[in-house]
Amino acid sequence: MIAINAIDQLAEPYDIAIVGAGPAGLAAAARAAELGLSVLLADENPAPGGQIYRAVTTTPVAKRDVLGEDYWKGGALVERLTKTTASYAPGCTVWSVAPDEEGGFELGLSLGGRARLISAGQIILATGAQERPFPIPGWTLPGVMTAGAAQIALKSSGLVPSGRTVIAGCGPLLYLLAGQLAAAGADIVAVLDTTPRRNWLSALPALPDFLRSPYLAKGLKLMAAARGKLSFRTGVTALAAQGADKVTGVTVTRGGKTETIACDALLLHHGVIPGINLSNAAGCAQHFDTVQHCWTPTVDDWFASSIPGIAIAGDGAGIGGAESAALRGEIAALDAVRRLGHLTEGQRDSHAAPARAELARSLRGRRFLDLLYRPAETFLAPPANETIICRCEEVTAGQIRDTASRLGVTGPNQMKAFLRCGMGPCQGRLCGPTVVELIAQVHGVSPADTGYYRLRPPVKPITLAELAALPPSEAAVKAVVR
Amino acid sequence: MFRPIADIKPGPSLGFTFDGSPMTARAGDTVAAALLANGIQACRQTPVSGAARGPYCMMGVCFDCLVVIDGVGNRQGCLVPLREGMRIETQAGRRHPDGGQS
Ligand code: FES
């Protein structure tokens, strides 16, 4: 592996550029490099692993059972990559992907405060997932974080919340985190479970598959570990974070009764959704996945997007978890190598066969979890008008509902023009799904019919200093201004 | 606020300042993690209402960890590794692409 620590070390053009060094990106990069192609793996984070295997090579958590055996599997993926000739650029942000004139692609990158455009023949986006927005009154207070954030602090820095901690939401990752934090010695005063009881009805038909899946044993173990030690409260129908300039408590409604639990940290989780900003801005077609209830790039069996030459592997193309992400990365890489003419279709297919079989196994039972842990309507489209939806521009649910009904705004892009929601630095990552949901609710249509933000590069803010470092070429202007 | 777990692997520490106060954190921490470990929950004020914010996602998504680092504003603290002697400051006021504050 060639470590890239400064932007002028990039030896372009690359055969394949891969964005994101989680399980999908690591597996894709390793596979393509093993087949003799020149590969760049660019990742925003300081160390490989993505979020699920965050800091797997550098974590200061000494006791292995705190993070669980699944976490340590990430080490093998990193080790495999280090044995190849792939270039790996940590701390490198990819802010634009666009076709160039020669049938390849141009990527806009920033590393160490400098920007550069490089070219690559094929692109694999492995940008993974982000937490689903969990808008409740007070969720912007310091001390309120995502469950994933607490997990990252634990994995990469060996930190746990120091005071009374409340965990709220639903889904396997929530129970996993509760177990991990408890094992690491955090003071968890309550786990507030928002799983809607009627979800059992819609999830039931998917139960038989789940019962035969690898999730089952794992899930039962997680639940037993978390429930045994922790104070679980189920049937939660409303939440609000309390406090003036930091969180001091959380108000909980269950069974029609409301109580306030004092706390110093509130960790929220309603599952993860694909991070679609880069694929959306690159122009890859997206659709609304009604089972996972989120916008998802449309891909084929080889994880190829609607733009020939751009594949999307891992959770960024639909949530499947770490194991499936690595397999999807592997399969996408084989097709990219085939597109570059280094494998025949037959060779590609036979190389991919074992990964495909594994993939089917790893995804079995997923549907049940997706349906069971789908957040309730009241968390997807918050009823309290004062709830901030766009954290960047501080736009509330009331403003969005009002603008949708009074001014007849029917889509998120128009809403953006009226209220600036989605125009802050996060570029709609934390308001997009909720804005869509609120508009859909006001007009009585589905999120699919409402559409999503149309995004433009750069997908991360770049500074004037970075821009100034770009050559004054037409390509540079196109990459930044559209 | 956060604290290190009981049996954390020992490692070197780095010195830095936050709004002028000297602090230390573990080498390997990001700026956002280093602040959390030092009991700092709020690291910026929003440009719209001036409300206090602190890291929310720790993975580069939310931009609520924005701080000024060595005079350069609007840096995502959760993505920047801490370095010895860093001068970290609260990000206040309206965002300017090049970090100036108003
Ligand atoms: S904490 Fe969300 S971007 Fe840094």
Contact B8 A62 (CB under 8 A): yes
Mean pLDDT of A14-34: 98
Question: Would you say the CB of residue B74 lies under 6 angstroms from ligand 1?
Answer: no
Among all chains, which residue has been given the structure tokens 């996602």? Answer: B57
Find out whether the peptide bond into B10 is cis, omega within 30 degrees of 0. no
Which atom, in ligand 1's list, is nearest to the CA of B62? 2
Is B32's pLDDT higher than 60? yes
Contact A161 B54 (CB under 8 A): no
The average confidence (pLDDT) of chain A is 94
Is B101's pLDDT higher than 60? no
pLDDT in tens, A362-381: 999 899 999 999 999 999 99
Residue A98 bridge partners (DSSP): A106
Percent of chain A at pLDDT exceeding 90:
84
Phi, psi (rounded to 5 degrees) for A65 = -75, -10
Domain boundaries, chain B: 13-92
Residue A154 distance to chain B (closest CA, Å): 8
Q: Give the DSSP letter string of A387-446.
A: -EEETTTTEEHHHHHHHHHHS---SHHHHHHHH-TT-STTTTTTTHHHHHHHHHHHHT--
To test the pocket of ligand 1, the residue of B36, B58, B69, B80 to mutate (highest count of ligand atoms within 8 Å of its CB) is: B58
| Confidence at residue B99, expressed as pLDDT on a 0 to 100 scale | 44
Q: Looking at domain B13-92, which of 3.10.20.440, 3.90.1150.10, 3.40.50.1100, 3.40.50.720 is its CATH number?
A: 3.10.20.440
Distance B66 CA to ligand 1 centre (A): 7
Contact B62 A430 (CB under 8 A): yes
Is A178's pLDDT higher than 70? yes
Taking the C-alpha atoms of residue B60 and residue A425, their distance in angstroms, rounded to an integer, is: 11
| Confidence at residue B100, expressed as pLDDT on a 0 to 100 scale | 43
Taking the C-alpha atoms of residue A330 and residue A320, their distance in angstroms, rounded to an integer, is: 14
Taking the C-alpha atoms of residue A450 and residue A412, their distance in angstroms, rounded to an integer, is: 7
Give, as one character, the DSSP assignment of residue A103: S
Confidence band of A417 (pLDDT split at 50, 70, 90): very high
Confidence band of A474 (pLDDT split at 50, 70, 90): confident
User: CA dihedral in degrees (A252, A190, B66, A430; nearest 10)?
Assistant: -50
pTM over 0.80: yes
| Confidence at residue A208, expressed as pLDDT on a 0 to 100 scale | 87
pLDDT in tens, A421-472: 999 999 999 999 999 999 999 999 999 999 999 999 999 888 878 888 787 7
Is B95's pLDDT higher than 60? no
Please tell me the least confidently modeled range out of A33-37, A160-164, A213-217. A213-217
Which chain A residue shows the shortest CA-CA distance from B77?
A: A45
| Confidence at residue A481, expressed as pLDDT on a 0 to 100 scale | 64
For residue A311, which of A289, A287, A278 has the smallest C-alpha distance? A278
